Amino acid sequence: MTIAIVGAGLGGLALARVLHVHGVEPVVYERDASREARRQGGMLDIHSGQRALREAGLIERFLAIARAEGQDMRLLEPDGTLLLQEDTPDDAPALRPEIDRTDLRNLLLDALPAGTVRWGRAFDHAEDGVLHFADGSTERHDLLVGADGANSRVRPLLTDARPAHLGQNVVELCIPDIDRAHPDLAAMVGRGNYWVLGDGKSLAAQRNGDGCVRIGLSFYNTGEDWFARSGIPFEDPAAARARLIELYDGWDARFTALIAAADDTVVPRSLTALPPGLTWPTNPTITLVGDAAHLMPPVGEGANMALLDGAVLGLALAEHRDDFGAAVAEYEQEMFERTAAAARMSADIQELLMSPDASRRMLEFFQPS
């Protein structure tokens, strides 16, 4: 019986690895031409997802490359007031270590047999047990797992739900080789997360394992058309940085210096999410993992839920390898409950970030009375 996984993200790869550990060999179809085809994003805070890496037999390798110091946190207000600084002791347990998404993905890819991932296979649709790809080719399957992210093409086979705009638009920037190029800014950001909140905006700077600092500039309570109205000329990186500095007028000069130091990577992103607690009637031949199933605000839960989805589904399929319907039903019952709680918590944090006094409320969140 053939298991087809559409999408070589964290959820799909965790599923493939757990199945492999239990002697079941699925096939993963990925639209990218290779693992190097595009950037995979910044750092991930892996906490509950460590359970999935244990089930995958990869926890020791994960801990060897994860950055415990990435747990450091600095929270500030736009005028430069430091609200919170948490520095991780060198001997602290890695409860929420950070890892580059690329490194985690490569860890999972390297743990799969050659040929498990079929690169350059863009899924188009499925019908009557047949996968149809954009190049006109087809493949048969007995179970289809949609691990194809926010804009999943598999999801419509199970539900009409679509991601809705969160009222948040983000511009991503990058400062490469920051320790050499900008040692003063490197010292300011520190080893982990540097977060400034206020005036309906935020600036989040995050140290990555490759020596760069990734910056996310968030604009809250903004609509889907905000980029068109923002006056940010994305086709001209230098002019785009200048406009972004204008949008942060009145903020401490140290913060706008981070924008000025960024390279020509200026990427707009409109954030969306699926309704918290989304479910669908179980179909014994189709299911979803990761963002395809429960896209939520990006506040530290999505990657962990995706990893757990892959592990839980993989264990269920290994146990019920002759009855995919029973495995899917068991997995979805657990997944719906677990991810609904995570999605509600993420939505609560998102609402907090949208509030006028977001910095003080975040301080209360990190240091409850």
User: Do residues 306 and 287 touch, judged by C-beta distance below 8 A?
Assistant: no
The list of the chain residues with pLDDT below 70 reads 369
Give the per-residue pLDDT at 68: 86
Give the per-residue pLDDT at 79: 96
> Which strand (E) or helix (H) includes residue 109?
helix 101-110
Count CB-CB contacts under 10 A for residue 122: 15
Give the per-residue pLDDT at 367: 80
Question: Residue 223 contacts by C-beta under 8 Å, 6 or more apart in sequence?
Answer: 165, 167
Question: Residue 323 contacts by C-beta under 8 Å, 6 or more apart in sequence?
Answer: none
Instruction: Give the span between the Cα atoms of 126 and 113, in whole angstroms.
Output: 26
Q: Which of 67, 74, 73 is nearest to 90 (CA)?
A: 67
Give the per-residue pLDDT at 89: 83
Instruction: Give the span between the Cα atoms of 70 and 43, in whole angstroms.
Output: 9
Give the per-residue pLDDT at 170: 98
Please tell me the number of Cα atoms within 13 Å of 146 on its side-chain side.
25
Provide the H-helix boundaries in 163-301: 178-181, 183-189, 226-230, 237-247, 253-261, 291-294
Give the per-residue pLDDT at 365: 85
Q: Which of 209, 149, 213 is nearest to 178 (CA)?
A: 213
For the stretch 179-232, pLDDT in tens is 999 999 999 999 999 999 999 999 999 998 888 999 999 999 999 999 999 999
User: Own/partner pairs for 87-92, CB < 8 Å, 24+ apart?
Assistant: 87/190, 87/191, 88/191, 88/192, 92/68
By DSSP bridging, strand 43-45 and strand 73-76 are unpaired
* DSSP conformational letter for 29: E
Give the per-residue pLDDT at 91: 75
Instruction: Give the span between the Cα atoms of 321 and 24, in whole angstroms.
Output: 8
Give the per-residue pLDDT at 71: 85
User: Do residues 11 and 310 touch, judged by C-beta distance below 8 A?
Assistant: yes
For the stretch 140-183, pLDDT in tens is 999 999 999 999 999 999 999 999 999 999 999 999 999 999 99
By DSSP bridging, strand 3-6 and strand 143-146 are parallel
Count CB-CB contacts under 10 A for residue 160: 7
Give the per-residue pLDDT at 369: 62
